Amino acid sequence: MKKKFLVLLAVCSLLIPSLVAQGAKENTQKVQLTMGSWRADDVQQMNNLLDAYSKIAPNVEIEFKPTNPSDYNTTLRLQLESGTAPDLLYARSYKTGEDLFNSGYFADCSDIEGMKNFTDANKAPWMSSDGKMFAVPFAAVSHAVYYNRDLFKQAGVEVPTTWEDFLSACQKLQNAGITPLANGLADEWDILETFFLGALPNYVGGTNERMMYEKGEKHFTDDAFVKAFTAMKDVAKYCPKGFESVTYNDSQVLFATGKTAMFIDGSWTVGTYGDATFDWGIFAIPAPEGNKTAITFHPDMAITMNAGTEHPEEAKAFLSWLCTVEGAQTASKYLPAGFFPMINAPITIDLPQANEFLALNTGKETDARFVWPVLLDLYAPMNQAVMSVMKMEITPKQAAQAVQDAYDKLDLN
């Protein structure tokens, strides 16, 4: 008898808290939203950001549900087609995102008030051809030269301001027995995305010039492009010995352990050298004499809402908050270092080097990575051309011709 009673007591004690909890839930009626993303690395950071938002909007709870980066496009389309997509979504820039908007899956975000806080250049990647905004710009990445101040001092080298200075700085470092650059070719993407496309605006110019190439008014065989390829040829001898088989990871290790003086890389790694034992900084990839230094400030992430969401008001409220200065400031506090808010307002960032990165933009023209907006099909040919030039398999002129040939074969409607 006593035993039975004890069991009953145990069961009751288990039930009561859950009943109470259920009651509490019914009282507040929280709106549950989910957010889809390809940034599987950022779960912790995004959860912190969403926690911060839940203090502003206590009735909304947003759950961050990222997918594997390479599966995102396919998974998302599948979810949207079957009506199981998240309420809030990361939107790819340019055509990949616009396709989903044109299919009616992304909501029209043009009338969100804070949209005026973004410059036209930063809005363009998520603007449809008829001028509608299909997402709220969220974060961009930049590209620059990371350099080891200690090794620069040791070799008596100053931060170069022109490409010619840069090459002579490399020579000086090499003479002092220091490998100047950490970049390699084994992973292929990094040499194109961080180095060549990072430096390209210095040679061909900004958005307007890029559009002339896209329309075919300018040719890839012109002086500017040949000069850009020549720069890659000139710099190859300052890369590590056997740079043909140096991977992106190798490059990071080489720079982080002080084995090389410089590394041309994207801003997304700015947080990884935090515990480096040497003093390091950042400078813009310098333009050749006579050209203005420009920055590849690449719009990477935007957030939009599912056109078929059950809670359009709450989702929109979140997007509007991201467009305010407070929202952007909060986001930049929690975003991983090296992902920069795109809002047109002074934002302070804690990490000094990340601030340096953002400061590179002041007074300079910025543009997205050259091939992204329209010419994404030139990515692979350009990538191969850059590597062949660096391996001295072809001349810069032949490389430029190869890209032009690839362009001629494109079907650009």
Nearest CA to 143 out of 293, 325, 41 is that of 293
- In the complex with other proteins, which residue's Cβ is closer, 41 or 187? 187
DSSP at 184: -
- In the complex with other proteins, which residue's Cβ is closer, 345 or 380? 380
Cβ neighbours of residue 62 closer than 8 Å, sequence gap 6 or more: 33, 34, 35, 50, 53, 54, 88, 318
Min dist. Cβ of residue 33 to other proteins (A): 24
Q: Which of 54, 73, 161, 162 binds other proteins (CB under 8 A)?
A: 73
CB 147 within 8 A of CB 281: yes
Q: Which of 16, 43, 56, 78 binds other proteins (CB under 8 A)?
A: 78
CB 243 within 8 A of CB 235: no
151 scored as a contact of other proteins (CB under 8 A): no
Q: Choose the stretch contacting other proteins; rule: CB under 8 A; options: 145-153, 209-217, 242-250, 355-363.
A: 242-250
Min dist. Cβ of residue 206 to other proteins (A): 21
Quote the tokens at residue 291: 């050209």
Q: Choose the stretch contacting other proteins; rule: CB under 8 A; options: 169-177, 201-209, 222-230, 236-244.
A: 236-244
- In the complex with other proteins, which residue's Cβ is closer, 203 or 243? 243
CB 386 within 8 A of CB 234: no
245 scored as a contact of other proteins (CB under 8 A): yes
Instruction: Give the β-pairing of 136-141 and 298-305.
Output: antiparallel
- In the complex with other proteins, which residue's Cβ is closer, 89 or 284? 89
C-alpha to C-alpha distances, 397 to 50, 197, 220, 228, 263, nearest whole angstrom: 51, 18, 10, 10, 26
Nearest CA to 230 out of 288, 186, 181, 180 is that of 288
CA distance linking residue 202 with residue 287, whole number of Å: 5
Burial class of 225 by CB neighbour count within 10 A (0 to 12, 13 to 18, 19+): buried
98 scored as a contact of other proteins (CB under 8 A): no
Q: Which of residues 352-411 bind other proteins (CB under 8 A)?
A: 376, 379-380, 384, 387-388, 391, 393, 409
CA distance linking residue 263 with residue 183, whole number of Å: 6
96 scored as a contact of other proteins (CB under 8 A): yes
Q: Which of 70, 84, 175, 348 binds other proteins (CB under 8 A)?
A: 70
Q: Choose the stretch contacting other proteins; rule: CB under 8 A; options: 66-74, 160-168, 261-269, 356-364.
A: 66-74
Q: Which of 27, 82, 129, 348 binds other proteins (CB under 8 A)?
A: 82
Q: Choose the stretch contacting other proteins; rule: CB under 8 A; options: 133-141, 165-173, 179-187, 210-218.
A: 179-187
Look at residue 360 and give its three-state secondary structure.
coil
Which residues contribute to the site for other proteins (CB under 8 A)? 70, 72-74, 77-78, 81-82, 96, 184-189, 240-247, 250, 254, 376, 379-380, 384, 387-388, 391, 393, 409
